Amino acid sequence: MGRRRGIMSQQFKEELAKELGFYDTVQREGWGGITARQAGSMVKRAVEIAQQSLLNQQKQ
């Protein structure tokens, strides 16, 4: 199987890593350098942002 195409843009992932405090690790070691917990935190935060966006759209 080929590599899966990511759902999150590179810029969005970098913004999340900065917000969550491990962007320095990403810069030094790449995405493979983050822990599973950190990756999970990124996914959790991305879901929270998406849910809030949907709520805001429904209110309009």
pLDDT digits (tens, 9 = 90+) for 34-53: 999 999 999 999 999 999 99
Q: What is the pLDDT of residue 7?
A: 82
Q: What is the pLDDT of residue 8?
A: 86
More confident residue, 16 or 3: 16
Q: What is the pLDDT of residue 52?
A: 95
Three-class secondary structure of residue 47 per DSSP:
helix
How many angstroms separate the CA atoms of 5 and 1, rounded?
A: 12
